[in-house]
């Protein structure tokens, strides 16, 4: 368990605390730990949070380690030892699990140009890990698992050499304990031969997202002194395992690795799925029977293990049930909708007129000032908002009473934004429970859990929807509240939609057809919504795609295929918009330098991006490219409770203007304000608007 993030735990373990937190050594205390995660603003210390980004291709966010020249590492956390001792006291044969040292180093960011992270940094981190292994061995650990997911990405010979030298160091400290190096999320490809030759006792491979791992095993084998942990139960999705097919795979693996050296396991940590499908009484039984959450997946692991070692006859009933469920899902009318499939086959995206022409038309219609200010979309979902929604859902208030509450909330936020001086307004999204769930509840073939919480970051948990069949839009989804908000002001109000790629990547998606096909179905539904919003008079529509980068395959050779269909889906969603309608999108907390060309191909009029936590690194991307459309690099971090001053925001804004022309720059926070309090939001936005005005004045003086 972690109090915020597993990578932050590892940062504390090796004492990699950045200087700005004024840590003086010893054990990393909780105040320092949470300052790194969320930032801190006290009389004696004002420090920004560490950067946060996505964990591989998942929706989990991790804190990015900061590596510096001359950095000194030390064993600075007893968490892993305390938890192991606690388990021993309860007679639990626990296996300590840590992020592997190489992955920890590769997931970090060098703060000094030319820093030798594979030399200086990895040597320091590995030395601490050697102490950790030795101490866990002394405490009686039988197995120690080190998760090294980075080998499923493209790795260089130098990185693989560093992997080998690191584990030679750790193996020298393990004593009687056994080391397991576990990979996940894909095939290890060029890393395979190095991995299986490490001086460790077991290797974990993902056979679900990395089916090519079987061919690698077949080609190169596995030494007789090593165990294979075969990840054959999907730890990333929620469908029941086809037990018979999986046993066929295990039988094939068993011809290469004897059963006594073969362990059945999930394909990755089960942190990415909910806890127990049996708790979901609100899901139709016909759909619920197809689902397997963490509890069910562990039962599947046990069943597969029993069949592998004792024979299939010992699990005949489980195999029969699995076959029945598989057939039920394959033939169910809940899954297949011929009308949706036919309409999608007949639909193609339309090309919008060139941006330079749209820009002039939009300027005449919207009449915005230079450096226009806006927010990303949501405003605080206070306890009052959540309570009203809960009372409506449980029948304690009528739909009329709930609608009146939403109307009142929208009217208040429109008035507040006008008072703040924002130029493009939003309706606040008070009626929305989640940026994906809200839409999924109004589309066909989505199911929703009541207890299916999955960690996104820190204490922020989400309940990903389940897409089980063909997707369609029965009726308009957002027109009512967007048009109501626009009726209250003469300033433009953004219609707010979640993009098709994000809805796909933030859901548990059906696995019986391509993700591209499902995404196109969602895009077609959204294109209908865009048309309705435009017809209702909305002239600014934001279609958020924060998960576009998240879905990028882990191997570069597969990037272009994904980006081609992802961009096509976004284009399908927006292609019906007229030239006078300004299309925005928003993205956050991802390495966008990898996909800047793809972002340009989205052909949106304005894009807002997270920039504050990454220290302005994003601006360097635009310094090196010719991006010519509107862009709003976030000027302050909404995931931290600290309130930035006017001068701080203006400095970031002026840094942006040093790279981008003022005619292209928008001023906005780096993400939605849903999770913040009004006490934080109002002064921060006041400072943001004041900073924008000061920057406008500075520009006027330069003319």
Across the chain, mean pLDDT equals 94
3-class state of residue 254 by DSSP = helix
Contact 418, 425 (CB under 8 A): yes
pLDDT higher than 70, residue 590: no
Give a yes or no: residue 308 inside a domain: yes
| Rounded-to-integer distance, Cα 449 and Cα 278, Å | 11
In this prediction, residue 616 carries a pLDDT of: 63
What value does the mean pLDDT take over residues 349-365? 91
Confidence of residue 698 (pLDDT cuts 50, 70, 90): confident
How would you class 513 by CB atoms within 10 Å of its CB: exposed for 0-12, middle for 13-18, buried for 19 or more? Answer: middle
Confidence of residue 621 (pLDDT cuts 50, 70, 90): confident
Q: Please, what is the Cα angle at 557 between 554 and 559, to 5 degrees?
A: 60
Give a yes or no: residue 650 inside a domain: no
Give a yes or no: residue 350 inside a domain: no
52-54 and 66-67 as β-strands: parallel, antiparallel, unpaired?
Answer: unpaired
Reported residue count of the chain is 703
Give a yes or no: residue 502 inside a domain: no
Phi, psi of 227 (to 5 degrees): -90, 150
pLDDT higher than 60, residue 208: yes
Q: What is the pLDDT of residues 302-331, one digit of tens each?
A: 999 999 999 999 999 999 999 999 999 999
In this prediction, residue 599 carries a pLDDT of: 86
pLDDT higher than 80, residue 703: no
Which two structure tokens, joined as six digits, stand for 534?
């435009």
Phi, psi of 4 (to 5 degrees): -150, -55
pLDDT higher than 60, residue 652: yes
Which two structure tokens, joined as six digits, stand for 555?
């191997």
Give a yes or no: residue 532 inside a domain: no
- Dihedral angle of Cα 285, 289, 295, 299, to the nearest 10 degrees: 150
| Rounded-to-integer distance, Cα 99 and Cα 95, Å | 13
Any bridge partners for residue 692, and if so which? none
Q: Which of 61, 584, 586, 639 is catalytic?
A: 639
What one-character DSSP code corresponds to residue 576? T
pTM: 0.91
| Rounded-to-integer distance, Cα 637 and Cα 426, Å | 19
In this prediction, residue 305 carries a pLDDT of: 97
Q: What is the pLDDT of residues 330-356, one digit of tens each?
A: 999 999 999 999 999 988 877 889 999
In this prediction, residue 575 carries a pLDDT of: 86
What one-character DSSP code corresponds to residue 118? I
Which two structure tokens, joined as six digits, stand for 208?
């679900």
What is the residue whose two structure tokens read 């066929």?
248
Give the residue numbers spanning the domain of 233.
71-331
In this prediction, residue 598 carries a pLDDT of: 86
| Percent of the chain with pLDDT strictly greater than 90 | 85
End-to-end Cα, the chain, rounded Å = 57
Q: What is the pLDDT of residues 471-504, one digit of tens each?
A: 999 999 999 999 999 999 999 999 999 999 999 9
Residue 587 CB-half CA count within 13 A:
23
Q: What is the pLDDT of residues 13-40, one digit of tens each?
A: 999 999 999 999 999 999 999 999 999 9
Q: H-helix or E-strand containing 487?
A: helix 479-487
Q: What is the pLDDT of residues 65-76, one digit of tens each?
A: 999 999 999 999
CATH number at residue 212: 3.20.20.210
Full strand arrangement of the beta sheet holding 508-509: 446-447, 466-467, 508-509
What value does the mean pLDDT take over residues 437-465? 93
Contact 386, 435 (CB under 8 A): no
Residue 272 falls in the annotated catalytic set: no
In this prediction, residue 614 carries a pLDDT of: 65
Q: What is the pLDDT of residues 167-195, one digit of tens each?
A: 999 999 999 999 999 999 999 999 999 99
pLDDT higher than 80, residue 619: no
Give a yes or no: residue 204 inside a domain: yes
Q: What is the pLDDT of residues 565-574, one digit of tens each?
A: 999 999 999 9
Which region holds residue 62: left if phi is over 0, alpha if psi is between -120 and 50, else beta? Answer: beta
Which two structure tokens, joined as six digits, stand for 7?
């990578």
In this prediction, residue 615 carries a pLDDT of: 60
Q: What is the pLDDT of residues 230-284, one digit of tens each?
A: 999 999 999 999 999 999 999 999 999 999 999 999 999 999 999 999 999 999 9
In this prediction, residue 597 carries a pLDDT of: 84
Give a yes or no: residue 196 inside a domain: yes
305: nearest Cα among 352, 375, 254: 254
Give a yes or no: residue 644 inside a domain: no
What value does the mean pLDDT take over residues 589-606? 81
Split into its structural domains, the chain has a count of 1
The stretches of 90-185 forming alpha helices (DSSP H) are 101-106, 122-139, 157-171
In this prediction, residue 240 carries a pLDDT of: 98
Cα distances (Å, whole numbers) of residue 67 to 14, 39, 120: 12, 18, 10
């Amino acid at each position: 368990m972690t109090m915020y993030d597993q990578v932050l735990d590892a940062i504390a373990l090796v004492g990699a605390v950045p200087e700005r937190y004024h840590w003086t050594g010893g054990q990393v205390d909780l105040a320092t730990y949470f300052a790194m995660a969320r930032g801190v603003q006290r009389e004696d210390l004002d420090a920004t949070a560490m950067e946060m980004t996505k964990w591989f291709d998942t929706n989990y966010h991790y804190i990015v380690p900061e590596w510096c020249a001359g950095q000194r590492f030390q064993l600075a956390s007893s968490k892993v030892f305390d938890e192991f001792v606690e388990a021993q006291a309860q007679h639990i044969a626990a296996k300590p699990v840590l992020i592997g040292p190489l992955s920890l180093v590769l997931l970090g960011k060098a703060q000094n140009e030319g820093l030798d992270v594979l030399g200086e940094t990895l040597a320091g981190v590995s030395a601490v890990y050697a102490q950790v292994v030795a101490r866990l061995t002394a405490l009686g650990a039988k197995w120690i698992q080190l998760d090294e997911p980075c080998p499923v990405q493209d790795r260089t010979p130098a990185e693989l050499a560093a992997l080998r030298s690191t584990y030679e160091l750790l193996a020298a400290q393990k004593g009687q304990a056994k080391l397991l190096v576990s990979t996940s999320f894909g095939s290890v490809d060029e890393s395979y031969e190095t991995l299986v030759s490490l001086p460790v006792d077991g290797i974990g491979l993902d056979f679900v997202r990395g089916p090519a791992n079987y061919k690698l095993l077949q080609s190169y084998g596995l030494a007789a002194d090593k165990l294979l942990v075969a990840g054959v139960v999907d730890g990333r999705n929620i469908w029941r395992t086809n037990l018979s097919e999986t046993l066929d795979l295990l039988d094939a693996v068993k011809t290469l690795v004897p059963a006594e050296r073969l362990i059945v396991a999930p394909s990755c940590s089960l942190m990415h799925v909910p806890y127990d499908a049996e708790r979901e009484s609100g899901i139709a039984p016909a759909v619920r029977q197809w689902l397997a959450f963490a509890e069910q997946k562990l039962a599947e692991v046990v069943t597969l293990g029993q069949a592998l070692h004792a024979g299939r006859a010992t699990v005949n009933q489980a195999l029969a049930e699995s076959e029945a469920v598989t057939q039920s899902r394959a033939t169910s009318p809940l899954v297949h909708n011929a009308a949706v499939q036919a309409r999608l086959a007949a639909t193609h995206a339309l090309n919008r007129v060139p941006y330079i022409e749209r820009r002039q038309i939009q300027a005449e219609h919207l009449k915005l000032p230079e450096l226009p200010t806006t927010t990303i979309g949501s405003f605080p979902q206070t306890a009052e908002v959540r309570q009203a929604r809960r009372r409506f859902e449980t029948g304690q208030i009528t739909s009329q009473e709930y609608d009146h509450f939403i109307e009142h909330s929208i009217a208040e936020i429109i008035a507040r934004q006008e008072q703040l001086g924002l130029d493009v307004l939003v309706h606040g999204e008070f009626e929305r429970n989640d940026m994906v769930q809200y839409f999924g509840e109004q589309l066909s073939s989505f199911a929703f859990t009541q207890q299916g919480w999955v960690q996104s970051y820190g204490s922020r948990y989400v309940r990903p929807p389940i897409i089980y069949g063909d997707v369609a839009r029965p009726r308009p989804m957002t027109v009512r509240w967007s048009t109501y908000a626009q009726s209250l002001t003469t300033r433009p109000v953004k219609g707010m939609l979640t993009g098709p790629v994000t809805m796909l990547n933030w859901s548990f998606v059906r696995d019986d057809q391509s993700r591209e096909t499902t995404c196109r179905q969602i895009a077609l539904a959204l294109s209908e919504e865009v048309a309705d919003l435009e017809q209702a008079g909305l002239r600014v529509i934001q279609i958020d795609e924060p998960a576009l980068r998240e879905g990028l395959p882990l191997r570069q050779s597969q990037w272009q295929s994904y980006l081609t269909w992802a961009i096509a889906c976004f284009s399908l969603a927006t292609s019906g918009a007229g030239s006078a309608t300004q299309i925005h999108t928003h993205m956050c907390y991802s390495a966008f330098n990898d996909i800047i060309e793809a972002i340009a191909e989205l052909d949106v009029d304005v894009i807002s991006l997270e920039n504050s936590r990454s220290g302005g690194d994003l601006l360097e991307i635009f310094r090196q490219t010719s991006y010519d459309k509107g862009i709003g690099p976030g000027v302050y971090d909404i995931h931290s409770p600290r309130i930035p001053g006017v001068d701080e925001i203006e400095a970031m804004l002026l840094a942006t203007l040093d790279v981008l022309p003022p005619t292209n720059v928008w001023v906005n926070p780096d993400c939605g304000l849903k999770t913040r309090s009004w006490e934080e939001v109002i002064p921060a936005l006041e400072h943001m608007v004041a900073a924008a005005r000061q920057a406008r004045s500075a520009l006027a003086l330069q003319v």
